[in-house]
Amino acid sequence: MAVYVSAEVAAVCELYEGLLGKDAARRGGAEQLRLLADRLADGHRRCLQGAFVEIGNWHPELTGHPETEIWSAGLGQQDYLDTVARAHGYSNWEAVSTAEPSRPTLRFERCVDDILAGDVEAVAASLRAYPDLTTMRSHWGHRAMLLHYLAANGVEIYRQRVPANAPDLARLLLDNGADVSAKANMYGGGRATLGMLLSSSHPAHAGVTPELADVLRQAGAAPC
């Protein structure tokens, strides 16, 4: 199945290579974010494109700034911790450290990855085995549900990938109990899938936005 991955998303995936996937799903949330912060610090020192994408999107004071400013910024460990915290739906690192201990649910994480790979059969099998998956939420601060990940917006950048069969996956999730009106905590909270989809460049570039939006609207998503 074809999956659209922008250059920016690919750069972040490369930055965090070896820290994602199955091993990450077995770590506690704070432990994982500390590892990502250390990798981000190294990437910033080495002027890696993935570090520019992460900092340019999530640093509280450098969002949207040009590369020259980001590379010349004298950042410390707190900056990197705050950046990765914000990239996972928290307001800052303090919100991570004061939250209740969070650990990923392996079947949820696996299903997210299968969705983003466009593997309909694997997703359907997971939903048959674990019917509660469509109502579960991510352990990260954004608290996204499976359906939200199809909007490729506001969730962790390395997961902002768009399978060509995203509309089919949305139908599958909705047929199995996903709530089209459910909101998550991206960008301050109160974000439903349709609104996130329509403001996301990745599905638009992948060419799936119109059909995916129609699927959501037919399921009762409110106009945005």
CATH number at residue 130: 1.25.40.20
Domain check: are 110 and 87 in the same one? Answer: no
Residue 2 lies in a domain: no
Boundary residue ending a domain (98, 117, 144): 98
Cα separation values, 197 from 51, 79, 85, 140, 217, Å = 25, 29, 22, 20, 12
Residue 119 lies in a domain: yes
Domain count, the chain: 2
Residue 143 lies in a domain: yes
Residues near 197 by beta carbon (within 8 Å), at least 6 away in sequence: 150, 151, 153, 203, 209, 212, 213, 216
Contact between 86 and 40 (Cβ < 8 Å):
no
Residue carrying structure tokens 């991206």: 186
Domain check: are 51 and 119 in the same one? Answer: no
Domain check: are 176 and 85 in the same one? Answer: no
d(CA 82, CA 163): 30
Domain check: are 174 and 191 in the same one? Answer: yes
Domain check: are 115 and 62 in the same one? Answer: no
Residue 35 lies in a domain: yes
**DSSP characters over 158-188:** GG--EETTHHHHHHHHHHTT--TT-EE-GGG
Residue 205 lies in a domain: yes
Q: What is the pLDDT of residue 101?
A: 63
Q: What is the pLDDT of residue 189?
A: 80
Domain check: are 87 and 176 in the same one? Answer: no
Residue 68 lies in a domain: yes
Boundary residue ending a domain (67, 98, 129): 98
Strand 183-184 relative to strand 162-163: parallel, antiparallel, unpaired? Answer: unpaired
Q: What is the pLDDT of residue 99?
A: 78
Per-residue pLDDT for the chain (224 aa), expressed as one digit of tens each?
A: 799 999 999 999 999 999 998 888 888 899 999 999 999 999 999 999 999 999 999 999 999 999 999 999 999 999 999 999 999 999 999 999 887 667 899 999 999 999 999 999 999 999 999 999 999 999 999 999 999 999 999 999 999 999 999 999 999 999 999 999 999 999 888 899 999 999 999 999 999 999 999 999 999 998 65
Q: Which structural domain range is residue 191 located in? A: 104-218
pTM score of the predicted model:
0.94
d(CA 57, CA 65): 9
Q: What is the pLDDT of residue 22?
A: 81
Residue 19 lies in a domain: no
Boundary residue ending a domain (66, 98, 130): 98
Contact between 126 and 112 (Cβ < 8 Å):
no
d(CA 126, CA 202): 26
Q: What is the pLDDT of residue 222?
A: 81
